[in-house]
Amino acid sequence: MGWRNLADDLGVDRLGELTQLDRIADPVRAAVQRAAKPPAVKDFLHGTWVGHPLHPALAQLTVGAWVGAAVLDLLRPGRDGSAAASTALVATGVASAVPTAAAGLVDWAELHEDQQRIGLVHAAINVGALTLYSASLVARLRGRHQVGRQIAYAGVALGGVGAMIGGHLSFRWAAGVNHNEHVFHVLDGGWHDIGRFDELDDGKPSRREIGEVALVALRRRDRVDVLVDRCSHLSGPLHEGAVSTVNGVTCLVCPWHDSAFAVDDGSVQRGPATAPQPRFEVRVLGGVVQVRGPLRAGG
């Protein structure tokens, strides 16, 4: 008999079908997007500067502090200064939950609707865990450590459920992952024809293909730049996006969530994307555009 799938047993995927959640998600998304409108704030919280989403990294601090407190509470309840240590860990988790939630909300606001429904449940459960840990902290600071421990046990259990749903959203529903990593493993790295140079309109993105891999080519006078067409954020079609100058760099802008990629090297100039677009080496032989790659950023 095979392993049972807990996420399927709990019906986590069905959360994405609950359109009733949109009544909550829509105003929350609008509020988050207004609050994080400045590009510097938005990109910082997305983790564009890190190269991957910031939220999971911050969550390690929150969850680690709370789990550490639970272990101390379980093994050494109130002994040899462990009460003070576990109180400090609970406080650390509560304090770090604020930036963790901020980064998570900014990422969540740029997901597809079905992903947002699951993410909303994930967030609601985590708010419940934070509420319990805040109550635990208050009890501990008032000297009621036994009550604080009991509340924290409920908090760590609820937080575990929230973490499971968050992991499911990332790894089953591909929220926050690089949607182009597979490209490096399906192309042979040789030269491929993608069409004639004179077929490319100057300054206008054009979709091309190598097998099942979609590319976007941008001609700028005598130069052609070629990137993978599907946005690394959520697979938006870059060939349908605009050509714009961002941070002084010519970029292709995703039509879905406004991520901007430098056309000459695929680097991220504006989020929510955190992973660069794979790019290709380009040459023109006999009027035919050929590409080789893909190449990673800086390659």
Would you list the domain boundaries of the chain? 6-171, 181-295
Tell me: pLDDT of 3 over 60.
no
* Model confidence pLDDT, tens digit, residues 21-33: 999 999 999 999 9
181-295 in CATH: which number? 2.102.10.10
Percent of the chain with pLDDT over 70: 95
Tokens representing 26? 């829509």
Cβ atoms of 179 and 230 closer than 8 Å: yes
Averaged pLDDT score across all residues of the chain: 93
> Region 127-152: what's the mean pLDDT?
96
Q: What is the pTM of this model?
A: 0.88
Dist. CA 97–CA 90, nearest whole Å: 11
> Region 138-164: what's the mean pLDDT?
95
> Region 115-122: what's the mean pLDDT?
97
DSSP string, the chain: -PPP-HHHHHTTGGGGG-GGGHHHHHHHHHHHHHHT-SHHHHHHHHTTTTTS-HHHHHHHHHHHHHHHHHHHHHHSTT-TTHHHHHHHHHHHHHHHHHHHHHHHHHHHTTS-HHHHHHHHHHHHHHHHHHHHHHHHHHHHHTT-HHHHHHHHHHHHHHHHHHHHHHHHHHHTS--SS-TTGGGGGTS-SSEEEEEEGGGSPBTS-EEEEETTEEEEEEEETTEEEEEESB-TTT--BGGGSEEEEETTEEEEE-TTT--EEETTT--EEESS--SPPPEEEEEEETTEEEEEEEE-TT-
Among 38-47, 109-118, 167-176, 183-192, where is mean pLDDT lowest? 183-192
* Model confidence pLDDT, tens digit, residues 154-184: 999 999 999 999 999 999 999 999 999 999 9
Q: With bands split at pLDDT 50, 70 and 90, how would you rate the model's confidence at 1?
A: very low
* Model confidence pLDDT, tens digit, residues 65-116: 999 999 999 887 766 678 899 999 999 999 999 999 999 999 999 999 999 9
Q: How many CB atoms lie within 10 A of CB 246?
A: 18
| Termini Cα distance of the chain | 47
